[in-house]
Amino acid sequence: MKYEILGPGTTKVPWQERPKELKGAPIWRYDANPIIGRNPVEGVARIFNSAVMPYGDGFIGVFRGEQTNGIPAIYLGRSSDGINWDIDKEKIPFTDEEGNPFMPQYAYDPRLVKVEDDYYIIWCQDFYGASIGIAKTRDFKKFVRIENPFIPFNRNAVLFPRKINGKYMLLSRPSDSGHTPFGDIFISESPDMTYWGKHRHVMGANDNWWESLKIGGGATPIETSEGWLLFYHGVAGTCNGYVYSIGGAILDIDNPSIVKYRCETFLLTPEEWYEERGFVPNVCFPCATVQNPGTGQLAIYYGAADSYVGLAFTYTDEIIDYIKSHSQLSETDREIGRR
Ligand code: BMA
Residue type present at position 225: S
What's the mean per-residue pLDDT of the chain?
98
Cα(96) to centroid(ligand 1), Å: 27
CA distances to 13, 56, 264, 267, 332 from 206, in Å: 33, 41, 9, 16, 10
280 ligand 1 Cβ < 6 A: yes
109 ligand 1 Cβ < 6 A: yes
Residue from 232, 280, 287, 308 whose mutation best tests the ligand 1 pocket (most atoms within 8 A of CB): 280
143-146 and 94-95 as β-strands: parallel, antiparallel, unpaired? Answer: parallel
> Predicted confidence band at 45 (pLDDT cuts at 50, 70, 90)?
very high
What pLDDT is attached to residue 100? 98
What pLDDT is attached to residue 233? 98
Tens digit of each residue's pLDDT (9 = 90 or more) over 211-270 = 999 999 999 999 999 999 999 999 999 999 999 999 999 999 999 999 999 999 999 999
149 ligand 1 Cβ < 6 A: no
Cα(133) to centroid(ligand 1), Å: 16
The residue nearest atom 10 of ligand 1, judged by CA position, is: 306
Residue 158 makes CB contacts below 8 A (sequence gap 6+) with 111, 122, 170, 171, 172, 217, 218, 219, 220, 221
The residue nearest atom 11 of ligand 1, judged by CA position, is: 179
> Predicted confidence band at 26 (pLDDT cuts at 50, 70, 90)?
very high
What pLDDT is attached to residue 58? 98
227-238 and 214-217 as β-strands: parallel, antiparallel, unpaired? Answer: antiparallel
> Predicted confidence band at 14 (pLDDT cuts at 50, 70, 90)?
very high
156 ligand 1 Cβ < 6 A: no
Mean pLDDT of 300-308: 98
Tens digit of each residue's pLDDT (9 = 90 or more) over 67-87 = 999 999 999 999 999 999 999
- How is 142-181 classified by DSSP, letter by letter? -EEEEP--S-SSEEEEEE-SS-BTTBEEEEEEE--SSS-S
Q: What is the DSSP letter of 41?
A: B
> Predicted confidence band at 109 (pLDDT cuts at 50, 70, 90)?
very high
108 ligand 1 Cβ < 6 A: yes
> 298 near 39, Cβ under 8 Å?
no
> Predicted confidence band at 177 (pLDDT cuts at 50, 70, 90)?
very high
What pLDDT is attached to residue 65? 98
66 ligand 1 Cβ < 6 A: no
CA distances to 117, 165, 199 from 254, in Å: 22, 7, 15
Query: Burial code of 214-225, b = ≥16 C-beta within 10 A, e = fewer?
Result: bbbbbbbbbbbe
285 ligand 1 Cβ < 6 A: yes
What pLDDT is attached to residue 25? 98
Mean pLDDT of 149-157: 97
Cα(195) to centroid(ligand 1), Å: 27
Tell me which residue of 194, 199, 43, 9 sits closest to 120, measured CA to CA: 194
275 ligand 1 Cβ < 6 A: no
Please count the CA atoms within 13 angstroms of the CA of 118 that sit on its side-chain side. Answer: 19
Q: Which SS3 state, helix, strand or coil, does residue 274 take? A: helix
188 ligand 1 Cβ < 6 A: no
Residue from 74, 179, 213, 235 whose mutation best tests the ligand 1 pocket (most atoms within 8 A of CB): 179
Mean pLDDT of 180-193: 97
Residue 321 makes CB contacts below 8 A (sequence gap 6+) with 2
Mean pLDDT of 172-193: 96
Q: Give the Cα separation of 32 and 77 in Å (integer).
A: 20
Burial (Cβ within 10 Å: 0-12, 13-18, ≥19) of residue 106 = middle
Residue type present at position 76: L
- How is 204-263 classified by DSSP, letter by letter? ---SSGGGSSEEEE-SPPEEETTEEEEEEEEEEEETTEEEEEEEEEEE-SS-TTSEEEEB
216 ligand 1 Cβ < 6 A: no
